[in-house]
Amino acid sequence: MSSDILIEIGADRVAHLVLNRPNKHNAITPDMAAAIRDGLQRLAADENVRVVVVRGAGEKAFCAGTDLNSLDGFGSPWGFRNAINYAREFDAFEKPIVCALKGWVYGGGFEIALNCDIRVSSPSARFAAPEVKHGWLGAGGFSQRLTRLVGYGHASRILFTGQPIDAADAHRIGVVEILVEEGAELETALALAKDMAANSEIALMTNKAGIRAAMEGGLTNGLAMERELMGFAMAMGAYGEGPSKFRARKE
């Protein structure tokens, strides 16, 4: 795996995925995109991992998005279109992901954050979708995930102007769920991840599937899917495990 991506698996069932190009604001190259795909596939298959925390190395950025110096390597717009969509790799991951944000959260880095499940931010974070200034749009979730999070008007403001918003504004409109003091974003994200990882893998994954279904479909189908997910989770062992834990606490 590329040294530009670091993965560490803790004893607490929480894994760390670190974007590790701090001298380049953790901008993503094609090799990094491939390493992200491989790393997430590895974490998805690891039974010792229940939650993943994503962060950027260094003090200046979470991620500045695609390294624009790498665009010539794709050969053509079609080549770029068919490249690994690294932000969507996070979207496809079936276990919960918490991201710890600071500094630049730009372009594809912003899209990575949008495709995570919970965003914890320090006040230093700045969020921007500068693609419009380059003459295109982001294709890792901007028009879809951002609009679902913040609504039509705020998404339009962010995507049409390309101007950055600060962490306070991002928290106010719903991009960020938890805003903490400077330097506390990773500690807070880890504490949250550990609390989540104390629950069973199947419970976490079925809850995530249900939440995503609510974002992507109608209420009737979503409720039907929720009931099927509940039955699946119980069939996987939770039917006996939950009541037995409750009885043990009472005793």
Q: Express as a percent the part of the chain with pLDDT over 90.
A: 71
**For residue 43, which of 187, 191, 201 has the smallest C-alpha distance?**
201
Distance CA 100, CA 122 (A): 8
**For residue 122, which of 176, 190, 162 has the smallest C-alpha distance?**
176
Question: Three-state DSSP class for 72?
Answer: helix
Interval 160-197: pLDDT, tens: 999 999 999 999 999 999 999 999 999 999 999 999 99
| pLDDT for residue 246 is more than 50 | no
The catalytic position among 8, 111, 226, 251 is 111
Catalytic residue flag (residue 131): yes
Query: Who's near 213: CB < 8 A, 6+ residues apart?
Result: 221, 222, 225, 226
For 35-39, 83-87, 149-153, 235-239, which range has the lowest pLDDT when averaged over its residues? 235-239
Which segments of 93-233 does DSSP mark as H helices, in order? 108-115, 131-134, 147-150, 152-161, 167-173, 185-197, 201-216, 219-233
The catalytic position among 47, 59, 94, 131 is 131
